[in-house]
Amino acid sequence: MRIPLGEIGIRDRYSPSFLPDLDPLVASLREVGQICEVLLREGEEGLEVVSGLKRLLALEAMGEEGIRARIVKGKEFPPSRAVKVAIAHNIPSGLNLVERAISVDKLEREGVPREEIIRRWLPLMGLGPRMELFMRLKALLRVPDGIKAYIVQKGLTLSGVSPLLTFQQQELEALTPLLFALKPGENKLREILLSLRDLSLREGVGVEEILSEVEGIVQDAERPPGERLEVLRQWLRRRLYPHLHEAERRLDELQKELDLPKGSLLPPPGFEGDRYRLVLSFADKKDFLRWVKRLWEAAQRLQKEEKDPFRELLGLG
């Protein structure tokens, strides 16, 4: 049966699709036409799309006026069944994280018991049958669409975006420009989010206020995104751990004074402890002997020092 597209009024009640890439589908439809029918439901307010929304959107983008469809009666096909069919139809092609969150929400909205969603549907979506995951997916839905788009583009995991779920709506809105300007991956995003949250709690200021202080770093068009990202990380680190940052600066100065490469002297983690490590890298005997000479010269410089700079750095001098 061919149905005019204008007669299909309710399109996304059941579909979990979020920012679908229609280009491959448009190319396929142009080449071979519509092969599979879409499934429509006769609802109280008109025809509803059960499965095939992306095909409908692709045909519409092509300028088509109708679509081949199969129509089912609303009384014989309740919403709880329609939403299950819609989501099951999309699972084989893969659901991104936001689509999983939308799926969970729509299943619950259409009357599917929460226990069934957790026990049966989360595993079908590649997640463990745990209430904690269900609640995190539900919380993800309140994230602004801009951040949802970023999550999809970067292919972030639920674990990676979990820190986002602790932020308020206005904080998330303020974060959106930073994400798209600096494009942090999952690990660095998590680090930045946790640093912002810790700094906000420690200083009693809003995340938006902290972000306003780094706007110059974020929007510095003369630096590439990766470089701006590292500048931001260092800024947060200095602000969060001023004493640690100062110790790192003094260690860098000590390495220069001893004419040793940066990174060759490794302090105890967090400068807590009493043991340093010296990292040597050499290619052959000649290179090794060059290192020995360099260390001997460094030792001669240290010999002239009245105090022990290593113990001073650890607060033991």
pLDDT band at 315; cut points 50, 70, 90: confident
Q: Which two tokens stand for residue 94?
A: 């893969």
Structure confidence by residue, pLDDT tens digits, 191-217: 999 999 999 999 999 999 999 999 999
CB within 8 A of 158, min separation 6: which ones? Answer: 97, 100, 127, 133, 136, 137, 140
The mean pLDDT of 71-90, rounded to a whole number, is 94
The mean pLDDT of 214-233, rounded to a whole number, is 94
The mean pLDDT of 271-279, rounded to a whole number, is 88
- 175, 210, 235, 237 from 198: Cα distances, Å: 15, 11, 14, 11
Nearest to 160 by CA among 181, 184, 135, 131: 184
- 244, 245, 266, 306, 317 from 312: Cα distances, Å: 13, 15, 15, 12, 4
Residue 248 CA to residue 267 CA, distance in Å, equals 9
Q: 90, exposed or middle or buried, with CB in 10 Å at 0-12, 13-18, 19+? A: buried
Window from 38-47, 147-156, 270-279 with minimum mean pLDDT? 270-279
Residue 113 CA to residue 85 CA, distance in Å, equals 16
Residue 316 CA to residue 215 CA, distance in Å, equals 39
- Position 271 scores a pLDDT of 82
Structure confidence by residue, pLDDT tens digits, 7-22: 998 999 999 999 988 9
Residue 122 CA to residue 103 CA, distance in Å, equals 10
3-state secondary structure of 309: helix
The mean pLDDT of 258-287, rounded to a whole number, is 89
* Strands of 58-171, DSSP E: 66-73
pLDDT band at 304; cut points 50, 70, 90: confident
- Which pairs from 207-211 meet CB under 8 Å and 24+ separation? 207/167, 207/168, 207/171, 207/174, 207/175, 208/170, 208/171, 208/174, 211/174, 211/175, 211/178
- 27, 37, 57, 61, 141 from 69: Cα distances, Å: 20, 5, 14, 18, 31
